Amino acid sequence: MDRWARPTLGGRTVLLLSVAVALSSILTSVLTIGLAAPPALIGEVVPPTIRRTAGFLGALVGFLVLLAGLELRRGFRAAWYATTILIAIAGAIGAIQASGFSLSTVVLALLALPVLFYNRDRFDRPVDLSPTQLAALTALAGALVYSTVGAYALHAEFSGVDGFVDAFYFAVVTASTVGYGDVTASPDSVAARLFTTSVVVVSSASFALALGSLSGPGIEARLTSALGDMTDSQLEAMDEHVIVLGYGDLTEVILEELGDRTPFVVITPESPPAELRGADRDVLIGTPSDEDPLRRAGIDRARAVLAATESDAEDAFSILTARELKPDVRIVAAATDRENVSKLKRTGADTVISPAMIGGRLLARSGLGERGNGGSRRWPR
């Protein structure tokens, strides 16, 4: 397959197939609840209890595939691993489910797995969690382990805990503060009551801490978006787009030319002007020559970079940074001073345009009665 065919099976295809597998798995489980359909695929050699269990697990795995697949937009390698494993599990569950509906899940899983492996290199971003988030997740995991092991060890002093699954169920419903009341400590056991008290305090606190640390950045992103800056989810959804560096006299002309044909994002170091906010343009606040704004803008997925900061020095630094982050991206720069055209080319720009030079040539040709790109035809009198 040549390089031009790669976008056909690119990141968007991976995402669409993952969502399709998830929805098919969920829909199959919903349709087969309580349905006495004949076994399909390898269902005839699987015990009925396992087939029924697979039906309920299909919905759970489908939701997990949906969550992991959506995280693929951010390019995480961990999301790729999780999606690949979960899709394989969804396909296996579909193969043993007691319904012909599950055939679609199996087919979609078989289609998705090769595409996932084909695009493996696209997902190389490590999970970047803050120390607070890591500590919160560690505390929550530790609390669940403590609750599960403790409930299993004291299962004789609990009503409703007969095995490890019941103990884990007790840990989850307690941490989430749901507490259905079907698992309770024996009124005659002081140890069970003290243990339950400790689980309520430790698990609920860990759950609240994890929820706050993980949802906090999302709330902050919402506030930032209200001020005119793009959110990470919006940036991560962009593909084959154009990055425009700087905002000045040329920017509106550039954006009008791009129009609706090509997605784009403008990186400007200051709060977006009123005309940008009013036109609902995609804006990212940051210094165009810094690596972080370019990475957030998805330069690894961009088709081109336009440097038009109205400062040749800033353009030069921006070109150097963009070329370092993605050596094969096409970079076009606008030179404020015509003598800097060659300098900007040496920094790594593929094409450098001098608006002043072009404007001067057009004025001269118009004055001589020429039109277009130097044609010999006269303007009509």
pLDDT tens string 339-363? 888 888 898 899 988 876 676 666 7
Is residue 166 a contact partner of residue 160, using CB atoms and an 8 Å limit? Answer: yes
Residues 330, 270: one domain?
Answer: yes
Q: What is the pLDDT of residues 207-249, one digit of tens each?
A: 888 877 776 665 655 555 444 556 666 677 678 889 998 887 7
Q: Domain for residue 373, yes or no?
A: no
Reported confidence tier of residue 2, pLDDT bands at 50, 70, 90: very low
Structure tokens at 286: 């940051």
Residues 299, 183: one domain?
Answer: no
Residues 252, 145: one domain?
Answer: no
Question: Which amino acid type is present at position 163?
Answer: G
Residues 112, 142: one domain?
Answer: no
Residue 254 to residue 247: CA distance in whole angstroms? 10
Structure tokens at 263: 């997605």
> Which of 352, 283, 286, 281 is closest to 319 using CA atoms?
352
Residues 82, 164: one domain?
Answer: no
Residues 91, 141: one domain?
Answer: no
- pLDDT given for residue 378 in this prediction: 41
**46-55, 70-79, 130-139, 176-185: which has the minimum mean pLDDT?**
46-55
Domain harbouring 175, CATH code: 1.10.287.70
- pLDDT given for residue 356 in this prediction: 67
In the beta sheet, which residues pair with residue 268?
285
Summarize the confidence of residues 262-271 as an average pLDDT.
81
Reported confidence tier of residue 305, pLDDT bands at 50, 70, 90: very high
Percent of the chain with pLDDT over 90: 10
- pLDDT given for residue 91 in this prediction: 86
Structure tokens at 244: 């425009």
Domain harbouring 260, CATH code: 3.40.50.720
Domain boundary among 80, 103, 122: 122
Residues 221, 240: one domain?
Answer: no
Domain boundary among 122, 144, 161: 122
Q: Domain for residue 372, yes or no?
A: no
Domain boundary among 63, 92, 122: 122
Reported confidence tier of residue 7, pLDDT bands at 50, 70, 90: very low
Is residue 165 a contact partner of residue 53, using CB atoms and an 8 Å limit? Answer: no
Q: Domain for residue 55, yes or no?
A: yes
Evaluate if residue 18 carries a pLDDT over 50: yes
Residues 298, 351: one domain?
Answer: yes
The residue segments making up the domain with residue 305 are: 232-367
Q: Which residues of 164-189 are buried (b: 16+ CB within 10 A; e: fewer)?
A: eebbbbbbebbbeeeeeeebebeeee
Residues 117, 12: one domain?
Answer: yes
Placement of tokens 């560690």 in the chain = 138
- pLDDT given for residue 330 in this prediction: 92
Q: Domain for residue 276, yes or no?
A: yes
Is residue 342 a contact partner of residue 326, using CB atoms and an 8 Å limit? Answer: no
Residues 136, 116: one domain?
Answer: no
Residue 332 to residue 148: CA distance in whole angstroms? 59
Residue 213 to residue 208: CA distance in whole angstroms? 9
Reported confidence tier of residue 3, pLDDT bands at 50, 70, 90: very low
Residues 189, 292: one domain?
Answer: no
Number of folded domains that form the chain: 3
Phi-psi label, residue 280: left if phi above 0, alpha if psi -120 to 50, beta otherwise = left
